[in-house]
Structure formats: C-alpha cells, structure tokens
Chains A and B, each alone.
Chain A
Amino acid sequence: DTAVSQTPKYLVTQMGNDKSIKCEQNLGHDTMYWYKQDSKKFLKIMFSYNNKELIINETVPNRFSPKSPDKAHLNLHINSLELGDSAVYFCASSQARTGAGETQYFGPGTRLLVL
C-alpha cells in the first residue's frame, strides 16, 4: 500500500552506462518531483511535473531526462553515467503545485552507485 514507490531501490553500474529509475504514486496527486541527495545529505530538487507538464528543470545536465507518461508516474532516465551521479534519488509527490501550503510525500529513495 506504498503511497510513493520507486524502483529499483539499489542501482550499481559502470560509468558510461544508461539507466532508468521509475516512480509511481497512488495518492491521486497532480505534481511529482525528483530530488538528488548527496553524501552530505543535501537535498536538491531536479525536476517537477504537474499533470505531465514540466514545471521545474533545475539546471540539471541534459544527460538526465524525466518522462511522465501519466500523472501517477514520473521516471528518470540517465545517459552516460558519471561518478558524480552517485547519490540517493528521491521521488516525491504533492496534491498540487508547490505553493499555498502543499506538503510533499517522498518515496524510499534509489541508491545509485557509479563505479
């Protein structure tokens, strides 16, 4: 009955590979987000989508491409993985776009390690 789920939970891969992380929410929310949390626990937003429309693209390298096939799913594809991409990636969702007191619900995270 997980509200926001992500797959896979762990991802270990070689530099230069392409990988995808999937996110699904069953809360009926309109807005979804991808965050990156580095080794110092700093959490930074990467993208947000509202009803499949891109709202935020936070100067992320274009090797990262989000895709939202419907408002319940927001996937993240990463091309040509680099060592610096190693981090924990969190998906989140909110009822509506951030503002007017929207709170966010987070998935469990995907731990990406690039070797």
Chain B
Amino acid sequence: SQQGEEDPQALSIQEGENATMNCSYKTSINNLQWYRQNSGRGLVHLILIRSNEREKHSGRLRVTLDTSKKSSSLLITASRAADTASYFCATDIGNEKLTFGTGTRLTIIP
C-alpha cells in the first residue's frame, strides 16, 4: 500500500482563494516534501519539512506537519491561474527513497 495519500484527489477554486490539500502517511518519517507537477512536465520541489518541525513557509506556501496524526497539509494562499497543477507529498522514512502520494489535482478558475 502507498505511504502517502493526498486528499482531496481534485480541487477547483476561484483565483484569489486559498487552496488546502492534505497528505496522510503510515510510517514515521525523517522528512516530508511537497512537489508540484504541471501538466506534461516533471515534478518540481516546493518545500521540505523535517519531522521535528511543525510549520514552514515559502512565499505563498505554508506547510504544516502533525507527526502524532501522521499528516501534513499544504496551503497555497491567494491562488493564481499558474498554480493549476498536481501536487504530491513525498515521505522519506530512511530507506534510501522518497515514496510519493497519490496527488491532488488543483484547478484555479480565472
């Protein structure tokens, strides 16, 4: 079974609104990373949060981590059309690889 699962699978919001997507995982982690994939392109790293951190910010992105609930959330504030993409969480549990979740497909409606 997959380590990470994103929720919701798909999300459509109006431009300017905030978008929140969640990631749940099963096994204790060293760190959790979020990646964006635009249609037809490779993944791009957005932000990394370590297991001893609870919140991180990068521009319009805010990531939280709750290790007791084994979950993370990615908040994109003031969304733009260019934020339309699929977003993946990836967990590092110390086994030499990242395990990617199922992804959230975000659509920003202009």
Q: Which of B1-48 contact A (CB under 8 A)?
A: 2, 30-31, 33, 35, 37, 40-45, 48
- A109 within 8 Å of B by Cβ? yes
Residue of A at shortest CB range from B100? A43
User: Given A41-B103, A43-B88: A98 and B98 within 8 A (CB)?
Assistant: yes
Instruction: Describe A's contact surface by its main secondary structure.
Output: loop
Q: How many A residues touch the partner, as a band?
A: 20 to 34
- B102 within 8 Å of A by Cβ? yes
Q: Which residues of B contact A58 (CB under 8 A)?
A: 97
Q: Which residues of A contact B98 (CB under 8 A)?
A: 45, 98, 104
A-B contact count (CB 8 A): 62
Instruction: Please encode chain A, from 49 to 66, with 1 for each CB lying within 8 Å of some chain B CB and 0 for all others.
Output: 000000110100000000
- B50 within 8 Å of A by Cβ? yes
Inter-chain contact A103/B48, CB cutoff 8 Å: yes
B65 to chain A, nearest CB (A): 13
